[in-house]
A and B are shown apart, each in its own frame.
Chain A
């Protein structure tokens, strides 16, 4: 840690819709250190996905500056790994081929890295399975392995566990923290689940909607591995929760678990 990985200054982004211009992000400033785990939380329409997509290079047409290791984001690429809410695996490729995708699996170094990643995301025995044969959590782990194979400077995760049941989600959070501890990949994780945000992040970025801007950045100084049942965790969770003026803002708009 220490080096600045991602620097966002005065970021503004609007969308043209049938009803006129909608301001998605308003004067967002954020600096992410190398190896940091940032979680971004906010209700629907606060622009958290837009923020992530801009960093990934998937959305353009913004004002302000976004730099990764000092360089402007030129477009999507393998240095910015992206995990979508759905796994988005290629349905016609097996697990190992999905992870390799455009890289030749018969090259010894690729083969070895793919095998290591399958080990890391605990999918041994499923190398030759097709996506339809996997559960949601397994498929999302394949997607994570696919991104990690390319050694991204930063891994962007857009509500990746949102569609999973509570047990699978808790398991995936542990798996992800495990990966983060081993690889020290910088992570930005978007969620609408406060527990998840506090459990995972070094810092929790709280966004507010219409227009989307940062309300507060809360450092979470709890040691890993965290336990959701401890008092210190619950205190931290309440602190984050208190930053939402109306507590039910989150619950009502997203149905997120409290």
Chain B
């Protein structure tokens, strides 16, 4: 970012607070309308509890400690699935990206596995691993693996050939070419893959917890559904949304920091 962009912007661009306010405008109005409609009995309290009721339910759950303990279980599952799947995706993506031989060996099989819908392997995972943690973490890992794998592969193969020439003129060894050229060049793609994987990890978590579970936010929600405790279902949805947003923000901040050098359209 240059000074001239700042100077240009200062003249006629709205401040940070105003931009944040713009983002809150839509959800804020929806919340107020929702509360009003619920308050005057136009919306069914059973299906659409008012935001106030949901907030009360949130506070109750938080006070009792259920929310926190369930959230912790869910977060650990999502994170371990993400780390396992994403880590393997990164590793195999690098291997397959760097060496044509490993591409021939691994890529066809991996693409085949990719085409199997995650939900289709759930019964098998439950048969093999029971409804314990393993089946859930593996389900999440399967989802998290592919975006990182494919994007790492693409990033490596997208390395500018002209820079390869530079690296040979500069006398880089094969190892230096990998560490100082190929991997840095692939970082934008790797980060994109990680963000997509993180999103899929939360998705996989919900699927796993709704299907068969005895703890976690997903379990809390399906349990509440059986007792028609709609506010708790909403609390679960909100917790998932917040956790997803928060984790994505963390990865985006890391991405921004790593990709400071990029010269791209800032909007």
**A84→B168 CA distance, assembly (Å):** 13
**Inter-chain contacts of A101 with B (CB < 8 A):** 170, 172, 180
Q: Which of B42-82 contact A (CB under 8 A)?
A: none
The answer to whether the Cβ of A77 comes within 8 Å of any Cβ in the partner chain is yes
State which of B165, B171, B184 has its C-beta within 8 Å of the C-beta of A150.
B171
**Inter-chain contacts of A84 with B (CB < 8 A):** 162, 165-166
**B168 and A102 within 8 A (CB):** no
**A131→B262 CA distance, assembly (Å):** 9
Known contacts A91-B262, A132-B261: does B170 contact A58 (CB below 8 Å)? no
**Inter-chain contacts of A81 with B (CB < 8 A):** 169
**B166 and A102 within 8 A (CB):** no
Known contacts A86-B162, A92-B187: does B2 contact A133 (CB below 8 Å)? yes
The answer to whether the Cβ of A90 comes within 8 Å of any Cβ in the partner chain is yes
**Inter-chain contacts of B237 with A (CB < 8 A):** none
State which of B162, B165, B184 has its C-beta within 8 Å of the C-beta of A92.
B184
Report the count of interface residues on A (CB-CB < 8 A): 25
Main secondary structure of the interface of A (DSSP, over half): loop
Closest A residue to B2 by CB, please name it. Answer: A133
**B184 and A90 within 8 A (CB):** yes
**A30→B261 CA distance, assembly (Å):** 43
The answer to whether the Cβ of B224 comes within 8 Å of any Cβ in the partner chain is no
**A58 and B187 within 8 A (CB):** no
**A58→B161 CA distance, assembly (Å):** 13
**A58 and B260 within 8 A (CB):** no
The answer to whether the Cβ of B88 comes within 8 Å of any Cβ in the partner chain is no
**B168 and A78 within 8 A (CB):** no
Distance (whole angstroms) from the CB of A202 to the closest CB of chain B: 24
The answer to whether the Cβ of A192 comes within 8 Å of any Cβ in the partner chain is no
**Inter-chain contacts of A80 with B (CB < 8 A):** 169
**Inter-chain contacts of A133 with B (CB < 8 A):** 2
**Residue of A81, A88, A92 with most partner-chain B CB within 10 A:** A92
**Inter-chain contacts of A131 with B (CB < 8 A):** 261
**A5→B176 CA distance, assembly (Å):** 30
**B261 and A88 within 8 A (CB):** no
The answer to whether the Cβ of B196 comes within 8 Å of any Cβ in the partner chain is no
The answer to whether the Cβ of B163 comes within 8 Å of any Cβ in the partner chain is yes
**Inter-chain contacts of B166 with A (CB < 8 A):** 84, 88, 90
Closest B residue to A53 by CB, please name it. Answer: B165
Distance (whole angstroms) from the CB of B119 to the closest CB of chain A: 40
The answer to whether the Cβ of A76 comes within 8 Å of any Cβ in the partner chain is yes
**B261 and A78 within 8 A (CB):** no
The answer to whether the Cβ of A56 comes within 8 Å of any Cβ in the partner chain is yes
Distance (whole angstroms) from the CB of A235 to the closest CB of chain B: 38
Distance (whole angstroms) from the CB of A238 to the closest CB of chain B: 36
**A90→B172 CA distance, assembly (Å):** 13
Known contacts A90-B181, A92-B187, A102-B180: does B169 contact A56 (CB below 8 Å)? yes
The answer to whether the Cβ of A126 comes within 8 Å of any Cβ in the partner chain is no
**A58 and B169 within 8 A (CB):** yes
**A146→B163 CA distance, assembly (Å):** 14
**A102 and B169 within 8 A (CB):** no
Closest A residue to B263 by CB, please name it. Answer: A132
Closest A residue to B181 by CB, please name it. Answer: A90
**Inter-chain contacts of A88 with B (CB < 8 A):** 162-163, 165-166
Closest A residue to B259 by CB, please name it. Answer: A92
A-B contact pairs, 11 of them (CB 8 A): A77-B169, A77-B171, A78-B170, A78-B171, A82-B169, A88-B163, A90-B166, A92-B187, A101-B170, A102-B176, A130-B263
A-B complex: 3 closest residue pairs judged by Cβ atoms: A132-B263, A76-B168, A78-B171
- List 12 extra interface pairs beyond A88-B162, A93-B261, A130-B263, CB under 8 A: A76-B169, A81-B169, A86-B162, A91-B261, A91-B262, A91-B263, A92-B184, A92-B187, A130-B260, A132-B261, A132-B263, A150-B171
